[in-house]
Structure 1
Amino acid sequence: MWLFTNNSFLSIVDKGDPSGKTLLVRARCAGDIERLFPEAKIQVGGGTDYRYRARIDREEVATVMADSIRNIDYRNFKSTVSDPDRHEAYMDVWSAMYAFQSIAK
């Protein structure tokens, strides 16, 4: 799952925790994981396309995501993204999905 917030972009996946109790939360930018999960122990590198990653309790991930939804107080998400580089990247995603809308079935 990709999760875009106004100050972080995360990829959240199940990468083989045998207990099923944790998820792997990944980010491309330093600080993105910690903004939502301040206590996370971040691993840097690892030879994959996501530079930052942390194993986080599945229930904590669900709670943080639910709280983020409960706390929405804006009418337009794009206008809440204050970092210009992040805003531009998010607009690229928005544009790609807008184009996809015209061909989606």
Structure 2
Amino acid sequence: MGFLRMWLCLNNAFLSIVEPSAGSDKLRVRARRKGDIERVFANAKVERTTGRDYLYRAELPRDQVARVVSQHVAGIDYNNFKDSVADKKLHDAYARFWSIMSNLQEIRPYSRDNGRGELL
């Protein structure tokens, strides 16, 4: 299966979660902003790692990461993710990400095109 990788866009943190080595019982949770890991994993021992792609990282038990991510999914109480993000800088980053990723969609969001070049 190879290494596992995931971006996790939460309304109070942006995290990258990777498997540090194949079959590891730990996951490496990484963040670009100070405090994001601790907001999600309160007792994490976070290291600051200059010269790496993510400045902050913590190694956590896989089952803990799965449990916390599951709790976040179970706790969703909004109908629009971007509107649930209070931090303006994080909100604006997600809005740009939304726009970039919308290019993958066969028909652009809010388009009146039916996908065959014909307007509806």
Which structure would you say has the larger Rg? Answer: 2
- Counterpart Cα distance in 2 of 1:56 and 1:37: 9
Residue 9 of structure 2 corresponds to which residue in structure 1? 4
Tell me by how many angstroms 1:48 deviates.
Answer: 0.7
Q: Deviations over 1:44-92 (max 9, x none)?
A: 0142110000000000000001000001111111101011111110001
1:63 aligns with 2:63: no
Give the 3-state SS of the residue equivalent to 2:103 in structure 1: helix
- Counterpart Cα distance in 2 of 1:97 and 1:58: 28
- Counterpart Cα distance in 1 of 2:24 and 2:48: 23
- Counterpart Cα distance in 1 of 2:89 and 2:24: 35
- Counterpart Cα distance in 2 of 1:68 and 1:82: 16
Q: TM-score, normalised by structure 2?
A: 0.80
The letter for the 2-side match of 1:62 is: A
1:29 aligns with 2:33: yes
1:81 aligns with 2:85: yes
RMSD value, Cα: 1.5
Residue 39 of structure 1 corresponds to which residue in structure 2? 43
Q: TM-score, normalised by structure 1?
A: 0.91
Give the 3-state SS of the residue equivalent to 1:15 in structure 2: coil
- Which protein is richer in helix relative to its size? 1
Q: Which runs of 4+ in 1 moved over 3 A?
A: none
Structure 2 unaligned runs (5+)? 1-5, 108-120
Q: Which has the higher contact order (CA 8 A, sep 6+)?
A: 1
Q: Aligned residue pairs: how many?
A: 102
Structure 1 unaligned runs (5+)? none
